[in-house]
Each structure stands twice: as C-alpha cells, then as structure tokens.
C-alpha cells in the first residue's frame, strides 16, 4: 500500500494541464476539438534558436553546467534584464531552472516555513496556491474582481499583509486575465510594500514580451528600485520565444534568496539542460523579430475574439493588455437550461456544455479562483479563434 506525502494530498493537479490532457484524449478518440485551452504559443521555435542548440551539441556542450548556468546564458540574462529593467544584476543574483514554473516552486521551497503566508491574487495562475500549499505555506487569496480591473489595489494589499506574510506574488501580464500593471499602479503598491519590510515580492513576468500597450511594460523593480533587494523577478523563454518544451526559466533577485534557491537546485537538478541553456542564450541575444511579429499576430486574434465574444448575449470580456488569454465573464449564462434540460449552475457546467455540445474546449474560471468566468486562449490560429467564437455563440444561443 502506497501513501503519498501529505504535501501531495494537499494539492490538486494543474487544471490547465488537465484540460490539455482531456483535449488530447478526445482527439485520440477521433473527435474534432476546437482547443482554446492552450497555454503556449502555437508557433515553432525560431530557427536560429534551434541552430544554436545544434551547434552547442556539436561543440560538445553536453555536460553539467554550474548550478546557475553557463557564462553565456548568465551574460545573456544580465544584458536582457539591464535592457528591460535598468538594473544590472550580478551573476550571484541569478538562478536558472527547468522553466519559470520550477523557479517559482523552488523559491517557495527555499523560503517557506509552516505558517508563512503568501499573498496570491484571484484570479490566479492555477499553480500558485498549490505550489504554496505543497511547500507548507498558507496561500492568502485576495480577490481582485472586474471592478478593479482584476488587479491588486494598495488598500487590498495593505489589508492582506500580516506579520506572517513572506511573499506577495504579482503576475503582469496576468494569466488568466491579461491585465497589466502600469507604473502608477506599481508605485502605489510599492508605497505599501516599503512600509512592510518583511514582505518579499515575486514578480512573475513570463508574459512580459507579449504586451499590446504602448512602449515597454514596466517592472516593479524599475518603478520602485527600493524594492529590488526583496524582489525576485522571474522570467523565461517559454512564451516569448515559443520554447515551452525547452524548459528554461530564470530568476533574479537578492543574493540571500537566490543562494537558498541555488543550494536547493544543486540537490534537485544540478542544472537545467545545457542544450536548452545554449538555445535560451541565443534567444535572448539574437534577432528579436520573432517576438515583434508574434505580438502583431496575437493582437489581431485578440481583437477578433474580443469583438466576437462581446457580441454573444450573456458573455462579456475586457480586452487583454498582455499575454494570450481572454477572461470571459459568463454571469449572463448562469441559470439557463441546455437543450437536454440541464441547468448551467456554474462556470464548470458551462465549460462541460461547450465541450460536449460544441466541441470547444475552454477552462472554467473557478479553477483560477474567480467565478463565473472562463479562460479562452488565443495562442492558436485565427481560424481556430474564429471557429471557437462562432461555436460558443451558437451553443449559447441554444440555451433557454
Ligand atoms: N507563470 C505563468 C503565469 C504561466 O502562465 C506559466 C505557464 O503557463 C508559467 C509561469 C510557467 O512557464 P515556464 O514554461 O517557464 O515554466
């Protein structure tokens, strides 16, 4: 008889990973599914990045590297962060891992003791609360509704902080809402944080390149440099360079935080793949046309989807300022009856109905901690986005 550890029984498997698996299953059964669950770019990794990986293999760069990366990758990350944040991090302030996900997990593992609180904003990326729970922490969920643009306000932050608060996790652009914090919003959060010197901040900036606004997206550490000595900035190459399968992410922050993460990494993974490190260095230092081109394509899909969804009675959604998801309010559909006579009681029912009656896969808002909503990805072809929106509209028109 096998009993998993309590940390495993405390958590759920990732809802987005589960949704993707369900789509694969239905497709394997021969069903045609319009998959709007995808959490990764539909583009292929740019060729110059792949070639850098091949070159690294050919040159024998197939061995363990130091825990915090090859000199080439370290230099690439330092330059990239200097360009984007204005801060020149030192090598000793860097950590790398198998994706931003692994960095966040290890950061929590390296810092949390039982009873430590982590402020997580709902709607949240599905992994944050479970990562906190798995590492003995207590997620403190702060609901950030539509009235505040799905963003944390200074007042809500002030109210959530306790003597036990270890971290605030901020994700901008946000998965699932696409919300982005502007400089004024970061400044007002910064004013609160400066007063509470025991609170560390983890800024998950994995979608920072996928930004539809003017100019460059601002980092908390740029707007409030006083917080740099307690902010762990997390990023990676997955979303910006269509490199999700390469598994390479990085963190930059205060030395004591990073040192504790790297100590754990030395026992967990030794280092991420040397080949992926070479590819990531090429991604960060090479031609950035791919990033600009893909943002243009995402923007077009976003606009088509927002327009189409807002024409569907019962649905409404604000446009995403970044990332590649729409966060769709489905309040107007709750309580309606399907042609089979079932009542749509919540967003989970709606998602099941859409999958079964229209073969459209989206993810229920309740998985992200705010209902009734669903998340629709536009990291898929314009045709799929259009077909999805039409199918959703038709399926909802059949409700009574
Ligand atoms: N953070 C957020 C908000 C995400 O949506 C994702 C991926 O879905 C990640 C982090 C993880 O990215 P990576 O592929 O670098 O682990």
This model of the complex carries an ipTM of 0.99
Global pTM?
A: 0.97
State the distance from the centre of ligand 1 to the C-alpha of 337, rounded, in angstroms: 36
Q: Can you tell me which atom of ligand 1 is nearest the CA of 125?
A: 3
Distance 23 CA to ligand 1 centre (A): 20
Residue owning the nearest CA to atom 8 of ligand 1: 39
pLDDT band at 295 (very low <50, low <70, confident <90, very high): very high
> Does ligand 1 have an atom closer than 6 angstroms to the CB of 39?
yes
Q: Which helix (H) or strand (E) holds 81?
A: helix 71-85
Percent of the chain at pLDDT > 70 equals 100
Residue 17: predicted pLDDT: 81
Mean pLDDT of 188-207: 98
Output the CA 237–ligand 1 centroid distance in Å.
10
Q: What is the pLDDT of residues 312-336, one digit of tens each?
A: 999 999 999 999 999 999 999 999 9
Tell me, what's the pLDDT at 361? 95
Ligand 1 contact, 99 CB (< 6 A): yes
Per-residue confidence (pLDDT) for residue 16, from 0 to 100: 78
Model confidence band, residue 61 (pLDDT cutoffs 50, 70, 90): very high
CA dist 249 and 251 (Å) reads 7
18 compared with 373, residue with greater pLDDT: 373
Mean pLDDT of the chain: 96
Pocket lining: 208 vs ligand 1, CB cutoff 6 Å: no
Cα(44)–Cα(293) distance, rounded to whole angstroms?
A: 13
Q: How far is the CA of 39 from the centre of ligand 1 (A)?
A: 8
Provide the strand spans (E) within the chain.
Answer: 34-35, 94-97, 117-122, 138-143, 165-171, 200-204, 231-236, 249-252, 316-317, 325-329, 360-361, 363-364, 373-377
Kindly give, in sequence order, each residue whose CB lies less than 8 Å from that of residue 256, ignoring residues fewer than 6 positions away: none
Cα separation, 306 vs 337, in Å, equals 25
Which pLDDT score is estimated for 329?
Answer: 98
264-292 pLDDT tens trace: 999 999 999 999 999 999 999 999 999 99
Q: 101 alpha carbon to ligand 1 midpoint, in Å?
A: 5
Give the pLDDT of residue 94: 98
Atom of ligand 1 nearest to the CA of 248: 15
Residue 42 has pLDDT above 90, yes or no: yes
Cβ-based neighbour number of residue 37 at 10 Å = 28
State yes or no: pLDDT of 216 exceeds 90.
Answer: no
CA distance 234 to 207: 10
**Domains identified in the chain and CATH numbers:** 6-44+290-397 (3.90.1150.10), 47-285 (3.40.640.10)
Q: What is the mean pLDDT of residues 99-126?
A: 98
Query: Is the CB of residue 190 below 6 angstroms from any atom belonging to ligand 1?
Result: no
151 Rama sector, left if φ>0, alpha if ψ -120 to 50, beta otherwise: beta
**Percentage of the chain exceeding pLDDT 90:** 95
Q: Rounded to the nearest 5°, which phi and psi values hold at 253?
A: -175, -165
Give the separation between CA 173 and CA 324, rounded to whole angstroms: 9
Task: Give the mean pLDDT of 229-255.
Answer: 98
Q: Is 175 in the pocket of ligand 1 (CB under 6 A)?
A: yes
**pLDDT at residue 194, rounded to an integer:** 98
Confidence class of residue 377 from pLDDT cuts 50, 70 and 90? Answer: very high
Over residues 5-39, the pLDDT tens digits come to 999 999 988 877 888 888 899 899 999 999 999 89
* Nearest atom, ligand 1, residue 236 CA: 15
Q: How far is the CA of 203 from the centre of ligand 1 (A)?
A: 12
- By CB atoms closer than 10 A (0-12, 13-18, 19+), residue 391 is middle
Distance of CA 147 to the CA centre of its chain: 22
Report d(CA 11, CA 129) in Å as an integer.
9
pLDDT at 186 exceeding the cut of 90: yes
Q: What is the pLDDT of residues 153-162, one digit of tens each?
A: 999 999 999 9
* Cα distance between residue 193 and residue 227, in whole Å: 8
Average pLDDT over residues 69-92: 97
């Amino acid at each position: 008889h096998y009993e998993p550890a309590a940390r495993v029984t405390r958590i759920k498997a990732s809802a987005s990973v589960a949704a993707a698996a369900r789509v694969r299953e239905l497709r394997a059964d021969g069903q045609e599914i319009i998959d709007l669950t995808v959490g990764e770019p539909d583009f292929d990794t740019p060729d110059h990045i792949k070639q850098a990986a091949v070159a690294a293999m050919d040159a024998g760069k197939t061995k363990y590297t130091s825990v915090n990366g090859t000199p080439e990758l370290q230099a690439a990350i330092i330059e990239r962060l200097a360009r984007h944040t204005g801060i020149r991090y030192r090598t000793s302030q860097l950590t790398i891992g198998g994706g931003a996900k692994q960095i966040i997990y290890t950061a929590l593992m390296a810092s949390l003791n039982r009873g430590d609180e982590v402020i997580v904003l709902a709607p949240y990326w599905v992994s944050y609360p479970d990562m906190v729970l798995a590492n003995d922490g207590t997620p403190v969920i702060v609901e950030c509704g539509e009235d505040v643009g799905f963003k944390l306000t200074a007042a809500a932050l002030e109210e959530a902080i306790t003597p036990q608060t270890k971290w605030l996790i901020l994700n901008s652009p946000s998965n699932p809402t696409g919300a982005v914090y502007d400089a004024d919003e970061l400044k007002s959060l910064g004013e609160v944080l400066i007063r509470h010197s025991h609170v560390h901040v983890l800024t998950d900036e994995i979608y920072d390149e996928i930004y539809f606004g003017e100019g460059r997206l601002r980092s908390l550490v740029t707007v409030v440099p006083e917080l740099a000595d307690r902010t762990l900035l997390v990023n990676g190459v997955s979303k910006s360079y269509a490199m999700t399968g390469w598994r390479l992410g990085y963190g930059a922050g205060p030395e004591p935080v990073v040192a504790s993460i790297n100590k754990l990494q030395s026992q967990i993974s030794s280092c991420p793949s040397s080949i992926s490190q070479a590819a990531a260095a090429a991604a960060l230092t090479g031609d950035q046309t791919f990033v600009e081109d893909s943002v243009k394509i995402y923007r077009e899909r976003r606009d088509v989807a927002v327009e189409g969804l807002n024409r569907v009675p019962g649905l409404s959604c604000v446009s995403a300022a970044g990332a590649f998801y729409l966060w769709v309010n489905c309040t107007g559909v709750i309580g309606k009856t399907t042609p089979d006579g079932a009542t749509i009681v919540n967003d989970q029912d709606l998602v099941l109905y859409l999958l079964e009656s229209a073969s459209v896969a989206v993810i229920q808002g309740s998985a992200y901690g705010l209902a009734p909503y669903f998340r629709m990805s536009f990291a898929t072809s314009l045709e799929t986005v259009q077909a999805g929106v039409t199918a959703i509209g038709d399926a909802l028109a059949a409700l009574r």
